[in-house]
Amino acid sequence: MSERAGSVAMRLKTKYAREVAPMNNHSHSTAEGIGHMAFHIGLGVGVAFAAHALLESSPVVGWLLYPLVAFWIATRFRALGNMLHEASHGMYVRGKKMNRVFGHVLAIIDMTALEPYTREHFTHHQHLGHPEKDLDFLSRRKLGFAEPTENFARRHLLRPLLLAHLPTFVRPVLWSGTDPWLVTLGRWAFYGGLLALAQWGLGWKAFLLFYLVPYFVAYQVVRYWSDAVDHAGIIGEQDEFYRTRNHIFRWGLINRIIFPRNDQFHLVHHLFPAVPTTRQPHVHEILMKDPEYSDRPHAFTALL
């Protein structure tokens, strides 16, 4: 699908382009980028160690809390995945070269490859909702993302818990011909480090509980939820403006946990994809001055 000249999306982009343009360069410094990565990794690792200690001292309590722990670690994987998304747009840190460096590192952690990820994602922006050209959503269409939004909670919030979508979502990259040789070495070192951690560090049980299950199961459920609230049920609308949505919780802390890195402003991102995530809330406030934009429901609860 192409964006029509008279569309709401085009009108908003034209109307607010000058006001939004100064916000396009407020990315993190290299040190800040490292700090944000370390912060979210630390949050995941810290909770994993605490949960492991709890399982050892109070197994019943530890197992009762384990689903929350796995979900928490999954949201930290999501935060790192969102940083990869920002780097692919060249807006995670300042400088094209450093965005590529961070992008490769984050892609290795996310078990994907930067170049194919970026190429596929850019088709999503250029051809949002097209049944063949939007490569991001070819597989999602098979999961019903193009169908109407009736019973949204049952279809897209509860059904993923059955894990039937995992074969579509879980595709770890072991080698990519698009990677520079240093990135390939880094990828193998990362996987080797994980195996060493399981064999001689945490032990296989802890590795299973606090890495494999959170990444390969819980994180993939979180990814499905995120993709669904972004586009499910509306991806086929005629106007680009209506093919995506914001999904904002009233309580900011819940947004930070479930939609890290301001991921709840997805409509804002599609209208102005060059705006760093740190500035998206402000762009949303600007757009709320427009009656057509403000009339759309922007709360997560509207989906329910």
DSSP state of 240: G
Contact 24, 282 (CB under 8 A): no
pTM of the model: 0.94
Look at residue 41 and tell me if it is in a domain: yes
Look at residue 56 and tell me if it is in a domain: yes
List the one residue out of 18, 17, 108, 81 whose CA is nearest residue 227.
81
What is the separation of C-alpha 62 from the centre of its chain, rounded to a whole number of angstroms?
Answer: 28
Look at residue 51 and tell me if it is in a domain: yes
Look at residue 1 and tell me if it is in a domain: no
Number of structural domains, the chain? Answer: 1
pLDDT, averaged per 10 consecutive residues of the chain (304 residues), comes to 72 96 87 98 97 97 98 98 97 95 98 97 94 90 85 91 94 95 97 96 94 98 96 92 96 94 97 95 97 96 88
Look at residue 164 and tell me if it is in a domain: yes
Q: What is the predicted pLDDT for the residue at 142? A: 86
Look at residue 108 and tell me if it is in a domain: yes
Compute the distance between CA of residue 267 and CA of residue 98 in angstroms, rounded to an integer: 27
Q: What is the predicted pLDDT for the residue at 157? A: 93
Compute the distance between CA of residue 296 and CA of residue 304 in angstroms, rounded to an integer: 15
Look at residue 25 and tell me if it is in a domain: yes
Burial 42-75 (b: 16+ CB within 10 A, else e): ebbeebbeebbebbeeeeeebeebbeebbbbbbb
Q: What is the predicted pLDDT for the residue at 5? A: 56
Question: Which pair of tokens denotes residue 74?
Answer: 């999954």
Look at residue 3 and tell me if it is in a domain: no
Alpha carbons within 13 A on the beta-carbon side of 101? 9
Structural domain of 57: 8-303
Q: What is the predicted pLDDT for the residue at 122? A: 96
Provide the residue type at 252 as one letter.
Answer: G
Q: What is the predicted pLDDT for the residue at 139? A: 84
Q: What is the CA radius of gyration of the chain?
A: 20
DSSP state of 236: T
